[in-house]
């Protein structure tokens, strides 16, 4: 079922299936991809409890093997709406008999969406509800229109908050090949979106090489920016399809490396969440410049009631901070 939040500036639509952002409209302009299956039948899936593919589609926990598809299962599951107002929606997914068969960890995943003026806040909270550590990844996969207002995608640009060339890896059979690195040439922070840029699938960038990644009009003006402190991010558009969108994907985890056969606890970039603890991440989307934020990770052992109050305080405080930050830059 789809739910809408709306104020006098923007409208946001969320699908309870996958708790996925399906539409963000401001001034009559749609910023999100429409999920046309001719190119890609999704818009902004939440990747959990895995990001990317597993070697052979299998992972191991304490010598037992489990099968898992790409990006985990949350994006295809129905979330429960637990809170609703004109400007706030909260969705929840909990482990159950079905999930435990393929992922042997008990959890609660809560996703909060709220709008205030021209800002959409997105909060992720993963809670380990069992008495043992859990290992997981989580990531975003938002597809932004590119081009946005006509023209050719190859005339548009990427912009980074660095003047250094961006080093990245490519995939081999869905797994990261770390035997060779590639470079994306940067000039005054800009990189061209060349035809064929995504012909070998996603560009995977490790090592926090940039904390702000933007899509820009041909004249260089930013129209979508992603700010993140995530350890890595991906850039993607379907290979060989000339699709009219580009995904800028902050990740807390990634696919297996070529040749990896270890335990889930040994998987690179996997998050270890001890029993009873929580992993909280907030995000902000500013539609004045349309800015996605993935900035803060908290791990804490506190009551659920207190945790919810803490998350709301963080969302409100960071909203105020970043409102001023972008107003005066």
Mean pLDDT of the 36-64 span: 96
Instruction: Determine the pLDDT at residue 266.
Output: 95
pLDDT digits (tens, 9 = 90+) for 120-140: 777 889 999 999 999 999 999
pLDDT digits (tens, 9 = 90+) for 158-190: 999 999 999 999 999 999 999 999 999 999 999
- SS3 for the chain is CEEEEECCCEEEEEECECCEEEEEEECCEECECCCCCCCCCCCCCEEECCCCCCHHHEEEECCEEEECCCCECHHHCECEEEEEECCEEEEEEECCHHHHHHCCCCEEEEEEEEEECCEEEEEEEEEECCCCCEEECEEECCEEECCCCCCCHHHCEEEECCCCCEEEEEEECCEEEEEEEEEECCECCEEECCCCCCCCCCEEEECCCCCEEEEECCCCCEEEEEEECCCEEEEECCCCCCCCEEEEEEEECCCCECCCCCEHHHCCCCEEECCCCEEEEEEEEECCCCEEEECEEEEECCCHHHHHHHHHHHHHHHHHHHHHHHHHC
pLDDT band for position 312 (cuts 50, 70, 90): very low
Query: What Rg do the C-alpha atoms of the chain give, in angstroms?
Result: 19
Nearest to 161 by CA among 118, 203, 208: 208
Q: Could you list the residue range(s) of the whole structural domain that residue 92 is in?
A: 2-328
Query: What is the reported pTM?
Result: 0.87
Give me the residue label for tokens 């299998």.
58
Count up the domains in the chain and report the number: 1
Look up the CATH number of the domain holding residue 121.
Answer: 2.70.98.10
Instruction: Determine the pLDDT at residue 328.
Output: 15
Instruction: Determine the pLDDT at residue 292.
Output: 47
Q: Are 68 and 105 contacting, i.e. CB atoms less than 8 angstroms apart?
A: no
């Amino acid at each position: 079922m789809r739910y809408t939040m709306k104020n006098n500036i923007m409208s946001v639509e969320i699908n309870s299936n996958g708790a996925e952002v399906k539409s963000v409209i401001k001034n009559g302009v749609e910023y999100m991809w429409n999920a046309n299956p001719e190119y890609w039948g999704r818009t902004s899936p939440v990747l959990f409890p895995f990001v990317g593919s597993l070697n052979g589609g299998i992972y191991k926990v304490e010598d037992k093997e489990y099968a898992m598809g790409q990006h985990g299962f949350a994006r295809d599951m129905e979330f429960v709406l637990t809170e609703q107002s004109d400007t706030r929606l909260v969705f929840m997914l909990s482990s159950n008999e079905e999930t435990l068969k393929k992922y042997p960890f008990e959890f609660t995943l809560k996703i909060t969406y709220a709008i205030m003026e021209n800002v959409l806040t997105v909060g992720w909270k993963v809670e380990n509800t069992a008495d043992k550590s859990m290992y997981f990844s989580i990531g975003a996969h938002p597809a932004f229109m590119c081009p946005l207002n006509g023209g050719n995608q190859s005339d548009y640009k990427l912009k980074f908050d660095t003047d250094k060339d961006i080093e990245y890896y490519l995939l081999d059979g869905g797994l990261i090949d770390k035997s060779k690195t590639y470079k994306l040439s940067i000039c005054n922070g800009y990189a061209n979106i060349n035809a064929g840029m995504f012909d070998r699938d996603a560009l995977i960038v490790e090592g926090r090489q940039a904390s702000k990644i933007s899509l820009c009009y041909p004249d260089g003006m930013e129209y979508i920016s992603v700010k993140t402190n995530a350890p890595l991010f991906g850039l993607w558009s379907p290979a060989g399809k000339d699709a009219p969108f580009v995904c800028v994907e902050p990740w807390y985890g990634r696919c297996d490396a070529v040749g990896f056969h270890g335990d889930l606890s040994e998987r690179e970039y996997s998050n270890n969440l001890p029993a009873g603890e929580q992993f909280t991440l907030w995000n902000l989307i500013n539609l004045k410049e349309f800015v996605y934020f993935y900035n803060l990770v908290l791990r804490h052992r506190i009551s659920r009631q207190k945790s919810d109050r803490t998350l709301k305080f963080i969302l409100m405080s960071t909203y105020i901070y970043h409102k001023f930050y972008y107003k005066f830059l």
